[in-house]
Amino acid sequence: MYGILGVLLIIAAIWAFVHPHNAFATLRKRTPSGQARGRRFPHRVVLASWLRFRVRPPRRQRMTEHRTGTREEWLAARLELLAAEKELTRRGDELARRRRELPWVAVEKDYRFATDEGEASLADLFRARSQLLMYHFMFGPDYTAGCPACSAIADGFNGSHVHLENHDVVLMAVSRAPIDAIQAYKQRMGWTFPWASSHDSDFNYDFNVSLTEEQQRGGPVEYNYESRDLRPVVDATEGGAAENAARCGTDTATYLREAPGMSAFALEDGVVY
């Protein structure tokens, strides 16, 4: 129906072009007495304007700026990339082997933790397994909620702990927040992984993932095997750290006294390494 209507409109426009004194070429208003008044618009302008509205030039196809080629060229490049990927995998396997061969260091301090089951030692956290992975979750005692970035990471590994436990590995989180606050936040987020509180111990400080205010403002501190100075940003009111601090219900300095990380432990003959 719309196609027929368009044809009729085109015929009418051509007719107006040929007969300039018809109603299509003249736009007039009438007075209350019935007399026509107004001004005459050139019929060519009416036709040209109508055609510009109705007739659109075909769109030019946008060409990609990415490199293109034949199927054979793609296959040759893909095989070259595959060889590099396999070499990267072999290098990763070698690094993993060297990591496993690092010397073990016995943990001699008697750290105590609060858990859902009650007070526990570091050895108790293994839950009859021989390996323990602890994620240092940024949730300090002065926070009202866990760190948003750590929460996103926890969303990723929540549920995996069940499968790891079937392979002799316990995956859990640890924070300095009191166990009651941890349990409430864990329930709010719908997580099931074990989460311990190191609130009353030196565990986080000894593993360089927590700072005192004096350490924070006293100069460079050790974190992630290198030295870093937090003094330029501890009082920031803008930026990522300040935004995360606000989501945790605290200020930037308090937020940055905690840090994320992962610690790995092994249990052999009752000794934790």
Q: What is the pLDDT of residue 62?
A: 80
pLDDT value, residue 58: 65
Return d(Cα 265, Cα 262) in angstroms, integer: 10
Which residue from 174, 104, 100 is spatially nearest to 135, judged by alpha carbons? 174
Q: Is 112 exposed, middle or buried (0-12, 13-18, 19+ CB in 10 A)?
A: middle
Is beta strand 261-268 parallel, antiparallel or unpaired with respect to 226-228?
Answer: unpaired
Cα–Cα distance for residue pair 191/195, rounded to 1 Å: 10
Helix or strand or coil: residue 14? helix
Q: Low-confidence residues of the chain, pLDDT below 70?
A: 1-58
Interval 170-189: pLDDT, tens? 999 999 999 999 999 999 99
The per-residue DSSP string of 200-245 comes to TSSHHHHTTSB--HHHHHHS-EEETTEEE--TTTTT-SSSHHHHHH
Distances from the Cα of 215 to the Cαs of 87, 158, 219, in angstroms? 43, 33, 7
Apex CA 234: angle with CA 232 and CA 240, to 5°?
95
Instruction: Provide the 10 A C-beta neighbour count for residue 123.
Output: 15
> HSE on the CB side for 91, CA within 13 Å?
6
pLDDT value of position 2: 47
Q: pLDDT value at position 47? A: 47
Rg (CA), the chain: 36
Whether the model pTM is above 0.85: no
Residue with tokens 């036709």: 47
Q: Which positions ≥6 away from 91 have C-beta within 8 Å?
A: none
Give residue 55's pLDDT: 53
* Calpha distance 178→113 (Å, rounded): 10
Per-residue burial over 5-18, b if 16 or more Cβ lie within 10 Å, else e, is eeeeeeeebeebbe
Report the phi/psi class of residue 118: left, alpha or beta, with left for phi > 0 and alpha for psi in -120 to 50.
left
pLDDT of residue 235: 86
Quote the pLDDT of residue 186: 96
> Would you state the pLDDT for residue 11?
52
Cβ neighbours, 10 Å, residue 252: 21
What's the confidence (pLDDT) of residue 236? 85
